[in-house]
Structure 1
Amino acid sequence: MNASDRTPADLLRSALAADPGRPLITFYDDATGERVELSVATFANWVAKTANLLQGELSAAPGDRLALLVPAHWQTAVWLLACSSVGVTVEIGGDPADADLVVAGPDTLEAGLACSGERIALSLAPLGRRFPVAPVGYADYAVEVPSQGDRFAPFVPVDPDAPALVVDGTERSGAQLVEQARAEAATLGLGPGSRLLSGLGYGDWQGLAAGLYAPLAAGGSVVLCRNLDQLGAEGLEKRVESERVTHSAL
C-alpha cells in the first residue's frame, strides 16, 4: 500500500493498481453453505457501483450519516468502502431515526423504517439475490445496483479528516481508520500476501479491523466467515488448509 493513502477508499485504489486479480475477500456463510470469492477488481467494481448508487440515485453527500444495520458480509464490506468513496459517515448499528440513510438486512427491516431518508434493503441471500418482493419502504439493493456505472468519481473530494466511521461509540476519520488499520495489521502480523480467517462480527472495531480494514491495509486478504460455529473443529481445520490461511481471528 502507498504511504500517501489517507482513506480506506485510497487503500482500495492502491490495491487495485498493485494487483487487481488477487483475492481480497472470500466469504462463507456456514448456515447456508454459501462461498463467494471476490478479487480486488471484482470488489472494487461492486464498490464503484454502490458509490454511484449512493451519490447519484440516493443523493448522498459528504457529511451525511448512514446507519448500517447488517452483519459481517461481503456486501457489508462493499458498503463500508462505498461510503468512504463518497464521504458518507457510517454508523455501525446506528439509530436509523438520526440517520440520513439506512441500509438494513432481513432481520433489521422494521427497525430501519425509523429512518426518514432513503432506505436500502439487502437480502443477504446467496449470490446476492434480490428479495422475491421488495420490502415495503425500501429499495432492493440487488435491483438497484447492477445498472450503476463501473467507474466512480466523487462530486467533491473526500476530506480524510472528516468523520468516516462510528463504532463502539467512537468516531474515526478516514485518516484515523487507515492509521489504525495499519497498526492492527502490524499487531496481527499481516503483510503482503497474508490470508486472515476471521470469524468475528462487524459490530465492533476488532471485528471490522480483522474482517476488512487490516488485511486491506497490509496488502493481504480475508476469509470472512459467518456462522462459523456451525462448521466444527474438523471443518475449520480443513478450511484453513484449503484456503491457505496464514492468520486467524476467532
Structure 2
Amino acid sequence: MNATERTPADLLSSALAADPARPLVTFYDDATGERVELSVATFANWVAKTANYLQGDLAAEPGDRLALLLPAHWQTAVWLLACSSVGVLAEVDGDPAAADLVVAGPDRLEAALACSGERVALALRPLGGRFPQPPAGFADYAVEVPGQGDRFAPFAPVDAGAAALAVGGEELTGAGIVARALADAEAAGLPQAPRVLSGLGYDTWQGLSYGLYAPLVTGGSVVLCRHLDRLGAEGMADRENSEKITFRAPLPH
C-alpha cells in the first residue's frame, strides 16, 4: 500500500498495475458446486463495466445511496468496488425505500420494489448468467452490463473522506475502509500477500474485511465460500490444500 491508495478503488487500480494476471477473487457455492476464479484483470474489468453502468445508464452520482441486497458473492464484491469507483455509498442490506437505487439478488426482489429509484436484479447464476425471464420492475444486470465500456473514469472526483460504505449500522468513508482493513490485517497477523479463505457473509464488517478488503489492502486474494458448512472437516482441509490457503477467517457461527 502507498500514499495514493486512499480508497478501495485505488487499491484495485494499484493491483491491476502490479500484477493483472494473479488471482484476486475465487468464489465457491458449496450448495451448487459452482467455482469461479477471477484474476485482478478480469475482476477489474467487471468493476469498470459496472461502474460505467452505474454512472451512465443509472445516472448515479457521488453521495447517492445504493441499497445492496446481495449475499457474499463475487458479483457483490464487484458492486462494492464499482460504488467506490463512482463515489456512491453502498449500504449492505440497506432499506430500499430510503435508497436512491437498489441492487438485489433473486430472493430479495420483493423487498427491493420499495425503492422508488432505479432497480437492478442479479440472478447470481453461474458465469454471471441472466434471468430466464427478466423480473418485472427491474433491469437484469447480466443483460445490461456486458456491453458497457471496459475502462472507467468518474465524471466527478471521488472524495476519499466521503461516506462510502454502510454496514451493521456503521458508516465508513473510502479512506476509513482502507485504514480499517489494514488494521484488521495487522491485528489478525495476515501474512504477506495472503490467500484468505472466508465463509463469512457480507452483512458484517468482519465478513467484508476478511472476504474482500483485507486481502485487497495486503496485496493478497480471497477464496470466498457460500454454504461452507456443507464441506465438513475433510472437505475444508482439501479446500485449503487445493487453493493454497495461507490464512483462514474465523468460521461463521
TM-score normalized with structure 1 length: 0.99
Alignment match, 2:37: 37
Q: Does the CA-based 8 Å contact 1:191-1:219 persist in structure 2?
A: no
Alignment match, 1:132: 132
Shift in Å, 1:124: 0.7
Shift in Å, 1:192: 3.6
* Superposed counterparts of 1:77-156, under 5 Å: 77-156=77-156
Q: Does the CA-based 8 Å contact 2:184-2:214 persist in structure 1?
A: yes
Alignment match, 1:167: 167
SS in structure 1 at match of 2:56: helix
2:190 equivalent to 1:190: yes
Q: Does the CA-based 8 Å contact 2:106-2:123 persist in structure 1?
A: yes
Measured in 2, the distance between the counterparts of 1:126 and 1:230 equals: 19
Alignment match, 1:235: 235
Unaligned ranges ≥5, structure 2 = none
Measured in 2, the distance between the counterparts of 1:146 and 1:191 equals: 36
Measured in 1, the distance between the counterparts of 2:191 and 2:15 equals: 13
SS in structure 2 at match of 1:57: coil
Measured in 1, the distance between the counterparts of 2:224 and 2:188 equals: 16
Alignment match, 1:64: 64
1:131-162 per-residue CA deviation (whole Å, 9 max, x = no partner) reads 00000110000000000000000000000000
Alignment match, 1:49: 49
Alignment match, 1:222: 222
The 3 A distance-change label for structure 1 pair 191 and 153 is farther
Unaligned ranges ≥5, structure 1 = none
Measured in 2, the distance between the counterparts of 1:221 and 1:22 equals: 9
1:66-85 per-residue CA deviation (whole Å, 9 max, x = no partner) reads 00000000000000000000
Alignment match, 1:26: 26
Q: Does the CA-based 8 Å contact 2:23-2:221 persist in structure 1?
A: yes
Percent identity, aligned pairs only, is: 74
Task: Return the letter of the residue paired with 1:177.
Answer: I
SS in structure 1 at match of 2:83: helix
1:52-104 per-residue CA deviation (whole Å, 9 max, x = no partner) reads 00001000000100000000000000000000000000101000000001000
Task: Return the letter of the residue paired with 1:86.
Answer: V
Q: Does the CA-based 8 Å contact 1:2-1:11 persist in structure 2?
A: no
Task: Return the letter of the residue paired with 2:8.
Answer: P
Alignment match, 1:199: 199
Measured in 2, the distance between the counterparts of 1:108 and 1:86 equals: 24
Task: Return the letter of the residue paired with 1:25.
Answer: V
SS in structure 2 at match of 1:58: coil
Shift in Å, 1:115: 0.2
Q: CA RMSD in A?
A: 0.7
Shift in Å, 1:191: 4.1
Measured in 1, the distance between the counterparts of 2:241 and 2:151 equals: 36
Measured in 2, the distance between the counterparts of 1:32 and 1:118 equals: 30
Shift in Å, 1:31: 0.5
TM-score normalized with structure 2 length: 0.98
